[in-house]
Structures are given as C-alpha cells and as structure tokens.
C-alpha cells in the first residue's frame, strides 16, 4: 500500500479505529496493537521483523500478564470485517478457531500456543500447532476476512462494504 495500513482511512475512521471499535462491540476488554504504537496499548515484536506470529507471541505475553487467557487476533488490512464474521470464532471451544484458508482472524487460547513457537512461523503453522478448529467460510465473507493488500483490493472492499 505504500503506507501504514493501520492509519488508512476507511470511510471516516482509520483501519485501527474500526477494528478497535469492532473488538469492543463484540466484548473484547483489552485491545492491543502489535509491532507499532498507535495510541492504544501496544506491544513490540520480541524479534523485529518476526512477522504476524511474532506479534501474536508478544501480545500473548502481555495478555497473560494482564490475566487474560484467550485472544482475538485481527488483521489491520481487513477493517471491513463484521461482528457476525467474528462471533463464530468467539463462540468456538478451546483451543480456538480460524476460518478455512485464512490465517486471520483467529481466536486462540493463550495456553494453546506451543512453547516452541517461533516469531517467523507462518500463521497457518501456528494455527495447526495450536490445534485450532477450522470453520467454513462463506464466499460472501471471504473478501472481508482476507482484507486488502493493494489499493485495488482496498477500493473493492470499500465499494462492497455497507455504509
């Protein structure tokens, strides 16, 4: 995208603000950002450049220290995800769930993260190692959940998203 995806405008709110509001709407009490401080509680990657798994590992340490045992992990490039997309993940039993063919969003019990998880792991490997349930994903929801990595994908998501 050529700029920080968290700060991109999505109909009057940044991607980060939209995801933080959605998280609170579905009952998440602590919203963290990983990798950068954008004004919310933040954790930095333990291994710079470790990627999304590194962010999850850093967030898991902070969440455990705060007394939490489960995490909802959202992708900043998918700010058009809806509460109805997230609820099946939140309703999943231990150790959590993700959608078929999509690494994020996911819900994961922090205790299910294997001790030998490495920051550079692909999220698919983490989901498999944690034995997350794989939920079916509708064709209608898939673009929202996959998100936007290019300006064209962003335009398509914006045009398809409800006002």
Q: Per residue, what are the HEC states of 70-99?
A: EEEECCCCCCCCCHHHHHHHHCCCCCEEEE
pLDDT tens per residue, range 97-110? 999 999 999 999 99
pLDDT tens per residue, range 115-162? 999 999 999 999 999 999 999 999 999 988 988 878 888 888 778 766
What's the helix, strand, coil split of the chain in %, to 5?
35, 15, 50
Q: Phi first, then psi: what are they for 123, rounded to 5°?
A: -60, -30
pLDDT tens per residue, range 57-76? 999 999 999 999 999 999 88
- Rounded CA separation 111/33 (Å): 20
pTM of the model: 0.89
| Start-to-end Cα distance in the chain | 23
- Rounded CA separation 79/4 (Å): 13
């Amino acid at each position: 995208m050529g700029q920080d995806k968290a700060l991109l405008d999505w109909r009057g709110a940044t991607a980060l603000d939209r995801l933080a509001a959605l998280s609170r709407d579905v009952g998440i009490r602590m919203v963290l950002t990983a990798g950068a401080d954008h004004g919310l509680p933040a954790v930095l990657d333990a291994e710079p450049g470790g990627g999304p798994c590194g962010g999850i590992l850093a967030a898991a340490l902070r969440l455990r220290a705060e007394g939490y045992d489960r995490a909802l992990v959202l992708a900043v490039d998918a700010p058009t995800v809806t509460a109805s997309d997230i609820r099946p993940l939140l309703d999943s039993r231990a150790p959590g769930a993700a959608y078929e063919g999509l690494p994020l969003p996911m819900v994961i019990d922090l205790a299910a993260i294997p001790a030998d998880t490495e920051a550079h792991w692909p999220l698919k490997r983490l989901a498999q190692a944690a034995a997350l349930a794989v939920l079916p994903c509708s064709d209608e929801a898939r673009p929202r959940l996959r998100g936007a990595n290019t300006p064209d994908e962003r335009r398509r998501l914006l045009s398809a998203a409800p006002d």
